Amino acid sequence: MDVVIRNANLADGQQGVDVAIEHGRIMAVGPRLPLQAAQEIDAGGDLLSAPFVDAHFHMDATLSYGLPRVNASGTLLEGIALWGELKPQLTQQALIERALQYCDWAVARGLLAIRSHVDVCDDRLLAVEALLEVKRQVAPYLDLQLVAFPQDGVLRAPNALLNLKRAIAMGVDVVGGIPHFERTMAEGAESVRILCEYAADQGLMVDMHCDESDDPLSRHIETLAFQSNRLGLHGRVTGSHLTSMHSMDNYYVSKLLPLIREAGVAAVANPLINITLQGRHDTYPKRRGMTRVPELLAAGIPVAFGHDCVMDPWYSLGSGDMLEVAHMGLHVAQMTGQQAMRDCFQAVTATPAAILGLQGYGVAPGCHADLVLLDAADPVEAIRLRAARRLVMRRGKIIAESPRARANLELPGRPASVDFRLGR
């Protein structure tokens, strides 16, 4: 064997487990495996998990905070307007450099798969070309899945539908949309129909920004579920944000949830951004802004958490830490029961991996040896502490390490050093 990790706890509750790795894959999982390996790692009862997965991000905008100015109001609409101001100033090289820097941050935090939306409303498709190059460069250590995203509306913006199709032809993976940003509710519904029919014809997945609004009458998720059902897209469609659901009345939601489940549509909430951008027009009572995560889960609908933004026109903070995302999601959704907290860990690991269709994901024989050893005993403690990543492994090779944070608890403010081994 190449590597054996000894005495690890797993996210499903197993304790004292050994994991044997050869040729980049997990060969065996069990207690006290009678195997020898070139390298043995003592987990010491810490949590060994499959890597973190971000189901919703905007890598074309990341690390652009302050360019060309700061979002003074902090609103979604000013962020969109600011991004429109920035687009003419973008260069392909700057996009690539910022995205690669973010990917380094992500890997250090055990985030090895990201679904990123990329704006296709710029006729030059600079961002598309840049992120396709980033995808190629990071492929040895990170899975980057791209969504063709018509930020300004596929019907509202000139050439947006044509550009979306061009982006798909260039190698972008998923069809995106933003129906609530079209000029009317009717145009929004029409955009959903057009985009879902295109995806069905091309055999592609769909991931739409859907109802990112405080308006309870923004109900494009209903149309998305209907089109998914009509076109047989079950299991290939995701509705992201769904924040209008936090303002809908309970009777309507009681009808909507079974429709979403029947259509096989998954949901992605973005706790850090939803709690920041929504409810901006409220005084008090002030809405939380995130979609109904516990209710969606109870209805049997897969729910993942996304980071969405890091230091960009919409959000001035962030570090690529999906445990921070889970921590915020747990609080906003009031998911403080033991199983609910474990569900939040699933929302940044196994659930988004399934939504992205990742192959060989997990801690089981036959899976890729893509693993994160966390300085925590279980998923709840990992979220509570935003646990240090003792090691990050890709295909059986350690690509990042960090010392146990618990050893530094008596030294407040002492930063943990990180050893990068990306080899770029």
Task: Delimit the domains of the chain by residue range.
Answer: 3-50+362-408, 58-356
Q: Alpha-carbon distance 266 to 346, whole Å? A: 14
Q: For residue 222, what pLDDT band results from cuts at 50, 70 and 90?
A: very high
pTM: 0.94
The confidence score (pLDDT) of residue 405 equals 77
CB 207 within 8 A of CB 240: yes
Q: Which CATH class is domain 58-356?
A: alpha beta
Does residue 1 surpass a pLDDT of 70? yes
**Percent of all residues in the chain with a pLDDT value above 90, rounded to a whole number:** 93
How big is the CA angle at 202 (ends 198 and 207), to the nearest 5 degrees?
60
Q: For residue 421, what pLDDT band results from cuts at 50, 70 and 90?
A: low
Does residue 410 surpass a pLDDT of 90? no
CB 296 within 8 A of CB 303: yes
Beta-sheet strands, E only, within 260-396: 265-269, 303-305, 371-374, 389-394
Q: What is the mean pLDDT of residues 153-174?
A: 98
| SS3 assignment, position 20 | strand
Diameter over CA atoms, the chain: 65
Does residue 407 surpass a pLDDT of 80? no
Does residue 285 surpass a pLDDT of 70? yes
pLDDT per residue as tens digits for the range 6-35: 999 999 999 999 999 999 999 999 999 999
**Cβ-based neighbours of 225, under 8 Å, separated by 6 or more:** 237, 239, 256, 259, 260, 262, 263, 265
Q: Which two tokens stand for residue 169?
A: 């032809």
Does residue 155 surpass a pLDDT of 90? yes
Does residue 235 surpass a pLDDT of 80? yes
Q: Alpha-carbon distance 348 to 111, whole Å? A: 9
Question: So which residues are the catalytic ones?
Answer: 212
Q: Alpha-carbon distance 216 to 279, whole Å? A: 12
The confidence score (pLDDT) of residue 414 equals 40
pLDDT per residue as tens digits for the range 128-152: 999 999 999 999 999 999 999 999 9
Q: Which two tokens stand for residue 280?
A: 């901006």
What Å distances lie between residue 395 and 8, 25, 108, 112, 402, CA to CA? 18, 6, 15, 11, 19
The confidence score (pLDDT) of residue 363 equals 98
Q: Alpha-carbon distance 196 to 27, whole Å? A: 40
The confidence score (pLDDT) of residue 416 equals 46
Comparing 21-30, 276-285, 293-302, which segment has the lowest mean pLDDT? 276-285
Q: Are strands 143-149 and 174-177 parallel, antiparallel or unpaired?
A: parallel
How big is the CA angle at 302 (ends 300 and 308), to the nearest 5 degrees?
150
Angle between helices 220-231 and 250-262 (to 10 degrees): 20
| Domain at 3-50+362-408, CATH homologous superfamily | Urease, subunit C, domain 1 (2.30.40.10)
The confidence score (pLDDT) of residue 403 equals 87
Does residue 413 surpass a pLDDT of 70? no
Does residue 335 surpass a pLDDT of 90? yes
CB 281 within 8 A of CB 213: no
